[in-house]
Structure 1
Amino acid sequence: MTDSPDRPDEPEDSGIPPELEEVLRGLTGGQALDPQMLEMMRGMGLDQVDPQMLQMVAGQVQAMFAGADESGSVDVAAATDIARRTVAAKGDPSVAASIVSDTRQAVDVANLWLDAVTDVDHSGLVGRAWSRAEWVEATMPVWRELVDPIAVGVSDAMGAAITKQLGSLGEGGLPEGLVPPGTNPAALMGQMGPMLRRMQGSMFSLQLGQAVGTLADEVLTGCEVSLPLVAAPDVVLMPEAIAAFAEGLEIDVPQARLHLAVRESARTRLFHAVPWLAPQVLAAVRDYARDTTIDTDAIEEGLRSIDPTDADAMQQAIAGRLFAPEQSPAQKAALLRLETLLALVEGWVDVVTAAAVRAHLPQADALGEAVRRRRASGGPAEKTFAALVGLDLRPRRLRDAANLFAALEASGGATMRDAAWDHPDVAPDAADLDDPLGYVERQGAPSTSDMDAELDALLRGEAPGDSTDDRPGS
């Protein structure tokens, strides 16, 4: 009897345990596994691994890459999970009902004080007291939107750098048995490209989660970093951080809570009532990130001496090497817009907050100075984000912006100060921060409606002011 012919519906035995083959198929988008890759796996002895241990490892790998995008995009679920674990490791108790009530009352009082110094609308805003985990959950989608262009760019650059590195090594430059004889390492890397992009996307998601988790431990209010991370109607205070802040200043917590409630309410009013502001701030960050140049030469240099299959070694090798030292013209323009907008937001908040709390809080000056020092020094999480996306989120020209709004107020009261937000075309720009008095002069010039009235009078054959000026001899 002769052997039965091969049946096409039965796949050829790859010699690799089914559990591992399933994981590899998942990482390559369900495509058939390349024979060279299978031979490499057998050469590494993976066909001899204990099945129970392999199942455990396979589960860990699948969990790491579950939902990962082949483009290297951030996995928001994975980043959120890492951020929540980061805050939980330091302790993140639920907010007590009494603290929730105190926070609501503080925000209500803050809005009453603000109503006396600004007409910027606050209708519908509600005070919230959040745990760190709640802040993570609410803000992570915005962070993902901001950093995703960087994640994809880093993923592409890493894949290209690793492929080039292995291609330059050639078969003889790799450890014996790592690839089958006669295999081109660069060609093999082409087959593993989707897996590498998912790996880099997962590593970036891990970094983002750690950064957001660390920042959640530092922020005092929902939008303290000057970005519209929390949408209206929520005015968010972080009770644990505020208590630590007050203790460090030796100021009682209720005063600190009220002062920060005024600041956050003012900031939330601005983002809520000025429809063009939040979109322009977020667009400036995205534009900066989208045009970021990844320094592939530095990445290749970092990868030259490490095992490309070791994720931890890869991450350490590229630390501090991601971004080209020179910003592009588009990045410089986006950064100028962003720095100006952040400075204007915080400058206005400073001026309005000082006016609102001056008559009510005995330690208002000390609290205001503490906030300025805190903002100037930054924190470890801000440094983490600077390393992650190459962007410093602190407003550099805040003092200039505060001086500009103070000058507007001195010239035309709160109405003239707040009118700067009426339209993006009349809002101050970077040049106005250099010449605040010139901006104040232009804002105080006759308005368009006044000029229209004068023109209308001329068209009717009247001299300007004829209707109101009863001069002798006319």
Structure 2
Amino acid sequence: MADDDEASRFEPDDFPADFQELLRNLLGGGGGASIDPAQLEGLSRMGVDPAMLQQIMAQMQAAFTRGSDDGIDWSAAKTQALHLSNKDGLSISSGDRAEFEQAFALATLWLSETTTISELAAPPVAITRGQWVEETLPVWQELAEPVADSIAGALTSVIDEQTPEEMKQLVAGAGAFMRRIGGSLFASQLGGVIGRLSLEVVSGGDVGIPVMPDGVAAILPQNFDDFGRDLEVTDDQLALYLATRELAHARLFRHAKWLRLHVISQVTEFARGIHVDTSALEDLASRFNPSAPEELRAALESGALLPQRTPAQDAALTRLENLLATIEGWVEVVTEDATARLPEAARIAEAVRRRRAVGGPAEQAMASLVGLELRPRRLREASAMWRAVTDAVGVAERDSLWDYPDLMPDASDIDDPQALIARLQARAAGEEPPRDAMDEALEELLAEAAAGDAAADETGSRSSDAAAGDDPATDDPGTDDPGTDDPRPV
């Protein structure tokens, strides 16, 4: 790294003096340890939030202390999320715990009448917002990591391309540092989204994907009142409905062990296709004004740095939406049957369905930040499919579709439930299921493959016979005359 005299030759004249000093301290290898607090105060006069500035400086210093590690420090996400989730208190009253314990106990009995999928091994729990963050953060990290890597890599690339040749020696080695900084800033932004999401969710399965540990059902009493404030239903009915729905969701994922990985893999498949729009990032960097950082913050939160989805991503998103709709459609039908005794069940169900379709502010922020909308757009169609299947073949046959991945309904079954019902009825009767277009196409492909193999075998056989006829060892001159005795010794 060049010394201070060399650095001063390359400092742009239009940079404020305190910013020049700050830059030297940051890139001088000390991780900002010698930064004078007065410098931060001076920069705050440029319009930068002092609290946010302090947080950024702490992340920079942490990035320096991590040495050559190019990974993303997700501790910033956890810190930010817990800061937001715990701001309104950390405890749950004994009365709330008792209320939801009773609701879960009755919901367990009701569900046993409407599904053959067995009960959970662990008892359901009432948790705080902070506990929800702690339990779900590993899944959010897994889903967001591809996007964080893309943003961090793009930031490094843009800095390298935009740095003049005469200044590259000054910032030599800063690329890896800026990558860590970019990743940490994204992690902090993600933590803010997760923290705000913890203020909205009312149960572990509220967001549609399995973010809670396997086999765990949970309710967040802190958000319960907000959800039911405008529904005009009694608290005991609302608690019973939400407890039943949460148990159904957790039971399904515990029963179908493969389903959790199936959902997560589809989400990560979509996320890995996301790449930062470097042209948008370069444009933002070229006109970035330190006195107006809101533009950068708005670009991150609005998803402006994420380019339009590719056809492959659109296809992946469609598959994911159909999968989520299939899962939540089953949960909705099972919950509807189990809560048939509740007078206000239909009103609560419609409120839940509308809430999932629209999404709250935090869910919308997640969609902008990661580019992913976790909404089952075909929920009504999927629910209608499960209702038709239940009425036609019964609960046991319906629930058996979750036994193996190849049995689970797909998008075509949502479009045509009668074809699925026909297959189930034929299977129950021990008959061969009705043939469809896929069966015909598969049989045609197998027939073509068999014909090709047969032709190859016949060609190979002829070649072997021809080779055997030309073999000199078989053309014994002593056997030309059929009447001549074999001269070879016996």
Normalised TM-score (structure 1): 0.77
Amino acid across the alignment from 2:391 = A
1:40 aligns with 2:38: no
> Is 1:270 the equivalent of 2:252?
yes
* 1:97 and 2:94 are equivalent in the alignment: yes
| 1:53 and 2:48 correspond | no
Asked if the contact 1:72–1:202 (Cα under 8 Å) also holds between the matched residues in 2, the reply is no
399, 404, 407: which one aligns with 1:426: 407
| 1:150 aligned residue | 147
Question: C-alpha separation between the residues in 2 aligned to 1:51 and 1:67?
Answer: 14
Distance 1:295 1:260, change over 3 A: same
Q: Is the 8 A contact 2:127 2:220 kept in 1?
A: yes
Q: Is the Cα contact below 8 Å between 1:118 and 1:415 reproduced in 2?
A: yes
Q: Which residue matches 2:372?
A: 391
Residue aligning to 1:469: none
The one-character-per-residue Cα deviations of 1:121-161 (angstroms, maximum 9, x if unpaired) are 11413121111111111111110011001100111112212
Which of 318, 326, 331 is the equivalent residue of 2:309?
326
Matched, 1:122 2:122: no
Structure 2 CA distance for partners of 1:199 and 1:216, relative to 1, 3 Å: same
Specify the code of the residue in structure 2 equivalent to 1:165.
Answer: Q
Aligned to 2:183: 201
Match of 2:466 in 1: none
The equivalent residue for 2:236 is 254
Q: 1:87 aligns with which of 66, 79, 85?
A: 85
Correspondence 1:132 to 2:129: yes
| 1:344 matched residue in structure 2 | 326
Q: How does 1:187-266 map to 2 (within 5 A)?
A: 188-266=170-248
Structure 1, residues 248-271: CA drift from partner, whole Å, max 9, x if none? 212221111110000000000001
Instruction: Spell out the pairing of 1:367-446 with structure 2 (5 A cutoff).
Output: 367-446=348-427
Note if contact 1:117-1:414 (Cα within 8 Å) is conserved in structure 2.
Answer: yes
Q: Give the partner amino acid of 2:86.
A: A
CA–CA distance in 2 between the matches of 1:62 and 1:254? 48
What is the alpha-carbon distance in structure 1 between the residues aligned to residue 35 and residue 263 of structure 2? 52
- Structure 1 unaligned segments of length 5 or more: list them: 1-33, 171-182, 453-474
Shift of 1:446: 3.2
CA contact (8 A) 2:135 2:213 kept: no
In 2 relative to 1, CA 316–116 (structure 1 residues): closer, same or farther, beyond 3 Å? closer
1:86 Cα offset (Å): 1.4
Deviations 1:41-67 (A, max 9, x none): 796346899968369979966632466
What is the rounded CA distance, in whole Å, between the counterparts of 1:390 and 1:87 in structure 2? 23
1:152 alignment partner AA: D
CA distance in 2 between partners of 1:296 and 1:227 (Å):
30
Separation in structure 1 between the aligned mates of residue 427 and residue 416 of structure 2, nearest angstrom = 20
Count of residues paired in the alignment: 401
C-alpha distance in 1, partners of 2:264/2:429? 31
Q: CA RMSD in A?
A: 3.0
Which residue of structure 1 aligns with residue 166 of structure 2?
184
Give 1:38 deviation, angstroms: 7.8
Contact map agreement 1:408 1:417 (CA 8 A) in 2: yes
Aligned to 1:234, what secondary structure does the other structure show? coil
Q: Contact 2:193/2:365 (CA < 8 Å) preserved in 1?
A: yes
Is the contact between residue 72 and residue 201 of structure 1 (CA under 8 Å) also seen in structure 2?
no
2:76 is the alignment partner of 1:78:
yes
Distance 1:205 1:114 in 2: 39
1:6-45 paired onto structure 2 within 5 Å? 34-35=1-2, 39-40=6-7, 44-45=20-21
SS in 1 for 2:124: strand
Work out the CA distance in 2 between the residues paired with 1:263 and 1:114.
9
Contact 2:124 2:217 in 1 (8 A): yes
Residue 425 of structure 1 aligns to a residue in which SS? helix
Larger Rg computed on CA atoms: 2
1:80-112 deviations in whole A, cap 9, x for unaligned? 1101111234x1341112222222221121110
Cα separation, partners in 2 of 1:274 and 1:153, compared to 1, 3 Å: same
Asked if structure 2 preserves the Cα contact closer than 8 Å seen for 1:75 and 1:202, the reply is yes
TM-score (normalizing by structure 2): 0.75
Question: What is the SS of the residue equivalent to 1:289?
Answer: helix
- Please say if residues 281 and 338 of structure 1, whose CA atoms lie closer than 8 Å, have aligned partners that are also in contact: yes
Report the CA distance between 1:411 and its aligned residue.
0.8
CA-to-aligned-CA distance 1:217-275 (integer Å, 9 cap, x gap): 00010121111111244210011211222222122211111100000000000011111
Distance apart, 1:449 and its partner CA: 6.0
- In structure 1, what is the equivalent of residue 104 of structure 2? 107
C-alpha distance in 1 between matches for 2:152 and 2:426? 53
Q: Structure 1 stretch 262-271 or stretch 313-322: which is displaced more?
A: 313-322
CA distance in 1, matches of 2:191, 2:56: 18
- Give how far 1:439 is off: 1.6
Q: Do the aligned partners of residues 379 and 268 (structure 1) sit closer, same or farther apart at CA in structure 2, a change above 3 Å counting? A: same
- Percent identical pairs in the alignment equals 36
Instruction: Check the 8 A contact 2:2/2:170 in 1, yes or no.
Output: no
CA contact (8 A) 1:357 1:364 kept: yes
Tell me how far apart the structure 1 counterparts of residues 238 and 121 of structure 2 sit (CA, whole Å): 24
Q: Give the Cα–Cα distance (whole angstroms) in 2 for the partners of residues 51 and 150 of structure 1.
A: 33
8 Å CA contact 2:204, 2:219 repeated in 1: yes
Q: Check conservation: 1:76, 1:140, Cα contact below 8 A.
A: no
Task: Say if 2:299 is the partner of 1:301.
Answer: no
